[in-house]
Chain A
C-alpha cells in the first residue's frame, strides 16, 4: 500500500509524505502508521502460520515423524504468542490508526509522536522473541500461557528474553491504547456526540480501556517470573512459600479480558460492513454499545473458568460457571442485531460481506462451544483437550482473523484508490472458509474423545480426524498467499474506486476522496452526513 499512494499524492497535494525509507521510520502520520501496523501484522501472520503448519505436519500421522517433541513444544508456544500479540492485536491497532481519525473527523491521532514509538517497538520485540528459537536451549516451550513453575523452573535460558519481549509488546499496546482513548475523547469533530460514533470507534474505545487495565497486569506477572528466576523470590514457588495457582489467577485476570480485546474490534468491523451490504441501518445501535460495555465489564470477573480443574471450592466453581454463562447474553444480543440487520435487507455478497456473514455464523459456533466449556463439571472432561483448541480457534480465526480480512477488503479501495479483484477475493474467501472448517471442525470430535492438546503424538484412534485437520490447515495456510497477491495487486492498480466506494456505505470516511489524501480533516468536517455515520 505504499509506493503508489505516494505517487498519487504529490501531484495534487503539497503536504505529501517524505521520500524513501525515512518516511516510514519517522512518520507520525496515522495512515502511514496504520499501514506499517497492518503489514507488520501480516508478516507475523505468515510467520505464526508457518509454525502452525509445522505442528499440523507433525500431527498429520500418529507417531513422531518430522520434529522432536522439544521443538514441537516451542512451535505451539511461539505460534500462540505470535498470533495473539504479533498478528491479531497489531492488525486491530493498524485498523484503528487508519480508521478512527477518519471516522470521527480528526486530522490525526492525538499523540502522533507516541504513535510512531508504539509501532517501532514491535519489530524489536518480535525479533527478540523469534531469536530465542536460535538460542541455546531453544525458545519458550511452555505454551502461550507460560504457566509457572513450568516456565520459571523448567523453562529454557531464553525465558528471560521472552519476558523482555512481553514487556515491550505490553508497552507498545499500552501507548497505542492511550492514544486511541485520548483521540476519541478529545478530537471528535465538533458536534459529533459519543452516541453518534460508528461502532468500530466505540468498540475500540472500550477495547483500549481493557488494554490499559490488563496489559499492566501481564507486565506484572512476567516481572514476578523474572524475579523468581533471577532474584530468588518465590512468588510461584511453593517451596519458598509461593503458590503456582497464584500464577494462574494473575495470568487469567489478564488472559480472559485479552480474548475480548481480540474480539471487540471485530464486532465493530462487522457492525460496519453488514449494514452497508444489507443497505439498511444497523439494527439496535444503542443496544450494541451497551452489550459491548457489559461484555467488557463481565470479562473481568470470569477469569477462573480457565481454572475449573485446579481444585476450587464448589462455590467458586458455581460462581465462575454462572458468571461466564452470563456473557452469552450480551453476545447473543449482538448476533441477534446482526441477523436483524440483514433481515429483509437488499443484500449483495461482495467479499467483505462474505467474510462478515461467515464471521457471524462461525463465531457463534465458537461461542456455543465456549458455553459447553463454561459448564464446570463438563469442563473437567474437556479441559486441555482439542475441544478447547477447537473452541478458541473458532472464535479467533473465523472470528477475529476473518473480521480483519473483511475490514481489509472493505476499506482497501479507500486506502489505495483502487478496487481489489472481486473474483479473486471471492476465491480467497471460499478457500479460507472451506479450509478453516476442514481444519477446526474435526478437532471438536477428537477433543471430546479425549485427545490432549499440545502433544506431538497421539493415540491411533484419532488418526483420521487429525489427517483431515492437517489437510484443512495446509489449504487455509496457502490460501493466504492468494490474499497477499490480491492486496499487492490492488495497491499497484485496478479499477478506480469512487469516493463512496460501496453503494450502501455511510460515514465520514466515505465522504473524502479515494485514495484517502495524506492529510484529511485538517479542518473539521461538515456533519450533515453524520446522522448516518453508524449506517
Chain B
C-alpha cells in the first residue's frame, strides 16, 4: 500500500541521516588535527613548529638586528621557579643564537614539567627556528633540584621588515599526573 511505501522510504531516509550524524561526529574530532595543521601552516596562535633542521645554509643579514624578549610563566599549580637567564637578546637574522632558562623545583616531591612556547606577534612564529629547545622534551626534577635548560634558535632573514622586536614566551605545566595516568593506561 501507498502508506507503507512512504514509511519504507522514510526509514531509508532516516538511515542516510544517521550516516550524516556519524560523519559530523567524526568531523568534530577531525577539527583537532585540522586545527593543528592550520596553525602550523599559518603560524596562527603563535605556535612554533618542532625541531628545525636546515636544508640549506640560511642567509645572514648583517645589516639587521632584531630584539627577542624571553618570558617565563607558570601555569596554575606549577610550583617551579622558572625564569630566562637573559631577558632579551639582540640577534642578527640568519645567525645561530643560544640562551638558557633556569628552573628549580622547590616542592617536596618530584615533578614532571612541560614548557609550551608561544610567539608574538603571531606572524613572526614561522620565522623563529629552534634547533634545540627544552620544550621539545619533558623535564623531571626531584625535590630541590635545579637546572639550566638550553635554547638554540635562528631568526629567519625572511622575517617581515616591519618586525623589529618579538617575544618568545613559555608557559610551564605540571604534567606529573597526566604522565602517571598514561603509564597506568598503558
Interface residues of A (CB under 8 A from B): 107, 110-111, 114, 153, 174, 178-179, 181-183, 185-187, 212-221, 224, 231-232, 234-235, 237-241, 243, 245-246, 249-250, 253, 311-313, 316
Contact = CB atoms under 8 A, between A and B. Distances in A.
18 contacts: A107-B3, A110-B10, A178-B18, A182-B10, A182-B14, A185-B10, A186-B13, A187-B10, A217-B31, A231-B185, A237-B173, A238-B173, A239-B75, A240-B175, A246-B31, A250-B28, A311-B45, A313-B122
Contact of A238 (B14, B39, B116, B181): B116
B13 A181 contact: yes
B10 A174 contact: no
Give chain B's interface secondary structure class: helix
B120 to A, nearest CB: 8
A293 B14 CA distance: 21
A215 B27 CA distance: 12
Nearest to A316: B44
Given A181-B13, A183-B10, A216 B28 contact: yes
B17 A182 contact: yes
A185 B22 CA distance: 21
B21 A239 contact: no
Contacts of B64: none
Interface in B12-67: 13-14, 17-18, 20-25, 27-29, 31-32, 35-36, 39, 42, 44-46
Given A183-B10, A213-B20, A216-B22, 5 more contacts: A217-B24, A238-B116, A239-B75, A239-B178, A311-B46
Nearest to B138: A239
Contacts of B35: 243, 246, 249
A232 B182 contact: yes
A319 B5 CA distance: 47
Contacts of B109: none
Contacts of A231: 181, 185
Interface size class on chain B is 35 or more
A135 to B, nearest CB: 22
Tell me whether chain A's interface is mostly helix, strand or loop, or mixed.
Answer: helix
A232 B181 contact: yes
B131 interface: no
A243 B45 contact: yes
A195 B150 CA distance: 68
Contacts of B13: 181-182, 185-186
A478 B20 CA distance: 43
B139 interface: no
Given A240-B178, A250-B31, A219 B25 contact: yes
A156 to B, nearest CB: 16
Contacts of B18: 178
B21 A234 contact: no
A214 B23 CA distance: 11
Nearest to A112: B7
Nearest to A234: B178
Contacts of A182: 10-11, 13-14, 17
A111 B174 contact: no
